[in-house]
Amino acid sequence: MKKIQIREASVQEVISVADMIPELGATPREEVYHEKMGDSPRLLLVAEVDGIPAGFKVGYERDGYWYSWLGGVLPDHRRSGIARRLADRQDEWARNRGYTHVTFKTINRLRGMLKFGIDRGFNIIKVEQEQSEPGEINYRIWLRRKL
């Protein structure tokens, strides 16, 4: 049986895992992490399977609420409960620090993430249209749920 470990990580560790997830495309570099999170409370997690990185989750306080900013699981480790375990750890951490809700956003082409959020009890709170490529329209979907 494979051993799954969830642990806190550095920005560099999270970036190295994010770079291996194809759907994320060009992942943010370290300066973007510092710019977005500033001095806010934050949590950066890495999941490992038998000591090998398999996924990550990053969240931080944004405008007074807990914001689950970025996360993903490597294709070979999907459907093994890693995303759920990362989200559970983040929820517990945020709840223990007094946050009452968690919010995240995704885009309509990332159906797996949208389904994951809905299956976890998130509600859609806002949809924003954005132009991505000529003739292509994406929708940014904001979701929130109570912790």
- Radius of gyration of the CA atoms of the chain, in A: 15
Task: Tell me what pLDDT residue 25 has.
Answer: 78
- Among candidates 77, 130, 86, 78, which has minimal Cα distance to 108? 130
- Split at pLDDT 50, 70, 90, the class of 135 is confident
Mean of per-residue pLDDT scores for the chain: 93
pTM: 0.91
- Among candidates 118, 110, 59, 54, which has minimal Cα distance to 83? 54
Task: Tell me what pLDDT residue 137 has.
Answer: 79
Residue type, 43: L
Query: What count of residues does the chain have?
Result: 147
- Tens of pLDDT, residue by residue over 55-91, are 999 999 999 999 999 999 999 999 899 999 999 999 9
Domain extent, residue 33, equals: 4-146
Read off the CATH number of the domain in which 43 is found: 3.40.630.30
Residue 99: HSE in the Cβ half-sphere, 13 Å Cα cutoff: 26
Structural domain count of the chain: 1
